[in-house]
Structure 1
Amino acid sequence: MSEITYLFNIIILALWLMLPAYIANPTAVVFGGGTPIDFGKNWRDGRRILGDGKTFRGLIGGTACGIIIGLLQRQISQVGDILITPSLIAIVTLSFGALFGDIVKSFFKRRLGFARGAKLPLIDQLDFVIGAWVLTYAFDPQWFTQSFEPLIIITVLILTPVLHRVTNIIGYYIKLKKEPW
């Protein structure tokens, strides 16, 4: 196998493994709106706990879309037997964990005085990855460690900021996001 073929296979596997998280994160924006998760409440520092951008509809809609994609992955991988089959626990934790990571980041951005939509380079692009990984490792460590070997982790950390930027630009131009970042 040539080095290019090997690299291509690693990229495909990294994208495949992260697909529930990669789908949950942007579809939360599509389904968002409505009641904020923090119910409009402020933290003891006087700032909003999370802000209006984190809503129950986004959390539920994004998580559901990630889970649906994960269930489709299970069907595809069992037929093709080529790619890693995600466990049911991993499907849920990758999907919900992606949004949980984004929520945690928003909490800390509010504490640091960042306004909604303000840039926080790399953190904005990787928060959902870290959330997905932490939850998946916590609830399904065996599947996580078998699936996310070091080269896959490095590939995800390199690819995700690029993919995140592209999807945010698309979301901005189709008027789903107020900022292209």
Structure 2
Amino acid sequence: MKESAVCASNREFFSDEYVAKAMSSAADLVYPAGNTGDFLLNVLTVLILVGPAYLANTGAMLFGKWIPDKVGFSNHKIDAGRVHSDGNRILGDGKSWEGLFGGAVFSALLMMLAHFFWKGNSAESARPFIDPLVLADSTDWFWLGNEWIAAFILGFTLGFACMLGDMAGSFVKRRQGHKREGEVSSKAPLLDTLPFAIFIFIAAVLLFRDQVLMHEDFTSSIFAIIIFTPIIHRSFNMLGYKLGLKSVPY
């Protein structure tokens, strides 16, 4: 019974009309005239640059659920169990303070690792493995003391934006009556995925406009990644479910 519900949910996601429309129109929206290989390389480059922020949700799962379950302490729900006027929880049990800040710290640590491995790599010569701080220096607002603190703040800020986007999507879903029940998804795949991606890039535009992630060559690649984020996100979740790393495929 549960397996059939999961399969039905997966089929629904991949057959949703929005997926077909997104895939058919993506080329018109984001594909620039020119070298296909260069465009795909830029997409991969941006995906690697923004990877630490995209993985904030993994950190949230570790610090908000997995670690608390292992050590035997309860996490602290952001909505504290409060119910909205529509009768539904404001955010639900899946959103905790430990997950919010744990996800941001996880992104910060990954950004520091990216800087460590690819230090000095430029967009002109080292794609797709570019140093996220290659254009940063001591005059930038987030450079507080040294490069490692700068990398931490960059990752923490984008990771925190990811978590805020995830919460915003959860809030809207619950106002519309979409709630995850057991192994059946909320049936709102766009709200499960797009908000966190959009919030990340909004934060990047507002706070890190002069950094390599906002390089003019990557504009079309950013739009491509946003469009395909729902498919990428669901695919990784399904893989994690198949490997036994997740209890649900969403």
- TMscore range, shorter length: 0.7 to 0.9
1:5 aligns with 2:37: yes
**Counterpart of 1:142 in 2: which secondary structure?**
coil
Match of residue 200, structure 2, among 124, 127, 132: 132
Aligned to 1:111: 175
Structure 2 counterparts to residues 1-181 of structure 1, below 5 A: 3-33=35-65, 34-81=75-122, 82=126, 83-86=130-133, 88=150, 89-116=153-180, 117-143=185-211, 145-146=214-215, 149-173=218-242, 174-178=244-248, 180-181=249-250
More helix by share: 1
Q: Which has the larger radius of gyration?
A: 2
**Counterpart of 1:28 in 2: which secondary structure?**
helix
- Tell me the distance in 2 between the aligned counterparts of 1:176 and 1:35: 21
Q: If the length of structure 1 is used for normalisation, what is the TM-score? A: 0.84
Q: How far is 1:84 from its partner?
A: 4.6
- Tell me the distance in 1 between the aligned counterparts of 2:221 and 2:52: 16
C-alpha contact 1:29 1:177 (8 A) present in aligned 2: no
Q: If the length of structure 2 is used for normalisation, what is the TM-score? A: 0.63
- 1:29-80 residue CA offsets vs partner (Å, 9 max, x unmatched): 2332322111111123332110001112222222111111111112223244
**Counterpart of 1:35 in 2: which secondary structure?**
coil
Q: Which amino acid aligns with 2:117?
A: I
C-alpha contact 1:28 1:62 (8 A) present in aligned 2: yes
Q: Could you say if the C-alpha distance between residues 51 and 64 of structure 1 is closer, same or farther in structure 2, counting changes exceeding 3 Å?
A: same
Q: Which amino acid aligns with 1:49?
A: I
Q: How far is 1:102 from its partner?
A: 0.3
Q: Which amino acid aligns with 1:92?
A: F
- Tell me the distance in 2 between the aligned counterparts of 1:148 and 1:30: 35
- 1:12-36 residue CA offsets vs partner (Å, 9 max, x unmatched): 2121221122211233223323221
C-alpha contact 2:204 2:214 (8 A) present in aligned 1: no
Q: Which amino acid aligns with 2:160?
A: F
Q: How far is 1:175 from its partner?
A: 5.0
Q: For structure 2, list consecutive stretches of 5 or more residues without a partner in the other structure.
A: 1-33, 66-74, 137-149
Q: For structure 1, list consecutive stretches of 5 or more residues without a partner in the other structure.
A: none
Q: How far is 1:149 from its partner?
A: 3.5
- Tell me the distance in 2 between the aligned counterparts of 1:39 and 1:135: 27
C-alpha contact 1:30 1:176 (8 A) present in aligned 2: no
Residues paired across the two proteins, number: 179
RMSD (CA atoms): 2.4
The 10-residue stretch of structure 1 (97-106 or 5-14) with the greater mean CA deviation from structure 2: 5-14
* Percent identity (aligned): 32
